[in-house]
């Protein structure tokens, strides 16, 4: 027997018992292993469903263009379906996504536009906004909008839910999953709760996402939203596909716990899975342990594991990346302040908002620096300038050397305490400027600039010392 196309292989993914990690729990814990889908993730299900729904509505004609904002996996699912159906694909994604995800999309023939992560959803640079703009500009195209498209949740209502019911022979008592667009947890739970009123649904959210607080307090708290590393899960918006009424509880997991659990699933269970899988399992085990007195040997818990570890070879499965971000322990007590003190100079060269761009360029060139804080007359840090920002501005405005810095500068450099350990610095240095201001502990309000190059040199010195011990 064979399939007419790769689309016939979507779904019917296996359930795998979690043995060592759940050994001390009285219940059965199973993982729904979605990397068995042809595109390597649970999003293959919605890719096909959303395109077929658009076709049924007459929203796209043959030879048209599929446009979507994606963290990578939905794009892969859409690209596979588009290949089988003869559509072009353009995807927008963010600069926090792994290189492997972008490479997969391009390998499947899609065009990929990378947008900044740390902007508001309605910012014209956000990957949501860029996708909408492209759909307005390109004839015979459609922005599928997985966040609000009901075909997303419907895909899981029609496939994932029935599969779990059949695979557990109706014995499933708990369903635990991460939430991003909301379609996976909502569509699956809707089907299962129509089958049994005894099902408990638990959502897992990363710190920095809006869902946890909204579920527990009914408040969309913008102060709760901040950048995090775990990909493909959590949101800074409230998608229409996220049905909070169908969820019974929400728990939160930080990046470190998610990354470490991802590795443990690979090494202890043989499941080579992605970051959001580790987050879901870490949240599931935390919740189950907190409620263990109410669990019995008859309980069957299913944790949705969305994707493959091959999407994260340069991140979660890379020791250097893990260590640099503080997710693996480093035997180092070196701080940001110590790095600054070990340099030949700690003097900070600053610009004024009223300086001309040409003067700043001359200062940077003379001093061999690639970024400068912008400080106003009251010694307040009001912005920053980098070589990249200046270059991009000059390319678009060749005569801009006489412009004032205030019209060109970016956000101020992050300020960190001198006591911050090196392994926690990279999260700040990964931002656009690639530098931070280290505040002097003895003289508050006095700063030194610390760059990625400084961090690399400090780590090299530390590794050299460790090798010689």
d(CA 186, CA 48): 18
Return the bridge partners of 94, or none.
115
DSSP codes of every residue in 25-48: SSSEEEEEEGGGSTTSBTTHHHHH
Burial letters 393-414, b for 16+ CB under 10 A, else e: bbeeeeebeeeebeebbbebbe
- Evaluate the CA torsion angle 232, 233, 237, 238 in order and state its sign: positive
CB-based burial label for 233 (10 Å; 0-12, 13-18, 19+): buried
Nearest to 104 by CA among 305, 281, 274, 320: 274
d(CA 70, CA 27): 35
Which residues participate in catalysis according to the annotation? 43
CB 98 within 8 A of CB 117: no
Nearest to 69 by CA among 150, 13, 147: 147
Degrees to nearest 5, angle at CA 169 with 299 and 47 = 100
Neighbours of 13 (CB within 10 A): 22
CB-based burial label for 416 (10 Å; 0-12, 13-18, 19+): buried
DSSP codes of every residue in 208-247: TBSHHHHHHHS---GGG----S--S---SS--TT--GGG-
Q: Using CA atoms in the order 13, 17, 19, 24, what is the torsion angle rounded to 10 degrees?
A: 130
For tokens 């189950």, the residue is 288
CB 144 within 8 A of CB 78: yes
The SS3 call for residue 307 is strand
d(CA 133, CA 108): 23
d(CA 83, CA 271): 29
d(CA 155, CA 397): 48
Where is 382: in which H helix or E strand? strand 381-386
Task: Calculate the CA 293 to chain-centre distance.
Answer: 34
């Amino acid at each position: 027997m064979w399939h007419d196309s790769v689309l016939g292989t979507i779904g019917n993914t296996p359930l795998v018992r979690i043995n060592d990690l759940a050994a001390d729990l009285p219940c059965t814990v199973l993982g729904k292993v979605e990397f068995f889908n042809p595109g390597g993730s649970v999003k293959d299900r919605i890719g096909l469903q959303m395109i077929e729904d658009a076709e049924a509505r007459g929203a796209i004609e043959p030879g048209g263009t599929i446009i979507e904002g994606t963290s990578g996996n939905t794009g892969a699912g859409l690209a596979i379906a588009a290949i089988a159906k003869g559509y072009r694909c353009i995807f927008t994604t963010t600069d926090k996504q792994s290189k492997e995800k972008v490479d997969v999309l391009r390998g499947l023939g899609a065009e990929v536009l990378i947008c900044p992560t740390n902007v508001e959803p309605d910012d014209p640079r956000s990957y949501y906004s860029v996708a909408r703009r492209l759909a307005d500009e390109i004839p015979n195209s459609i922005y599928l909008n997985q966040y609000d498209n009901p075909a997303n949740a419907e895909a899981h209502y029609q496939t994932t839910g029935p599969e779990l019911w059949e695979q557990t022979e109706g014995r499933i008592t708990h369903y635990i999953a991460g939430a991003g667009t909301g379609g996976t947890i909502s569509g699956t739970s809707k089907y299962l709760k129509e089958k049994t009123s005894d099902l408990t649904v638990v959502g897992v959210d990363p710190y920095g996402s809006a869902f946890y607080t909204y579920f527990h307090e009914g408040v969309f708290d913008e102060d709760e939203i901040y950048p995090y590393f775990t990909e493909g899960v959590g949101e800074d918006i409230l998608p229409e596909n996220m049905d909070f009424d169908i969820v019974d509880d929400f728990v939160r997991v930080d990046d470190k716990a998610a990354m470490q659990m991802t590795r443990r699933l690979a090494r202890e269970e043989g499941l080579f899975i992605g970051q959001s899988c580790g987050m879901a399992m870490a949240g599931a085990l935390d919740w189950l342990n907190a409620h263990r007195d109410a669990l019995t040997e008859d309980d069957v818990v299913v944790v949705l594991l969305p994707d493959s570890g091959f999407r994260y070879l340069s991140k979660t499965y890379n020791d250097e990346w893990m260590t640099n971000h503080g997710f693996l322990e480093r035997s180092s007590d070196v701080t940001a302040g110590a790095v600054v003190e070990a340099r030949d100079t700690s003097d900070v060269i600053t610009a004024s908002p009223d300086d001309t761009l040409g003067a700043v360029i001359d200062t940077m060139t003379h001093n061999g620096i690639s970024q400068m804080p912008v400080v106003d007359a009251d010694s307040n840090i009001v912005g920053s300038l980098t070589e990249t920002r200046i270059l991009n501005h000059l390319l678009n405005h060749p005569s801009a050397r006489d412009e004032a810095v205030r019209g060109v500068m970016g956000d101020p450099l992050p300020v960190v305490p001198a006591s911050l350990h090196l392994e926690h610095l990279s999260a700040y240095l990964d931002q656009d400027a690639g530098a931070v201001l280290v505040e002097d502990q003895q003289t508050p309000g006095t700063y030194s600039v610390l760059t990625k190059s400084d961090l690399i040199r400090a780590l090299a010195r530390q590794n050299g010392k460790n090798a010689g011990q």
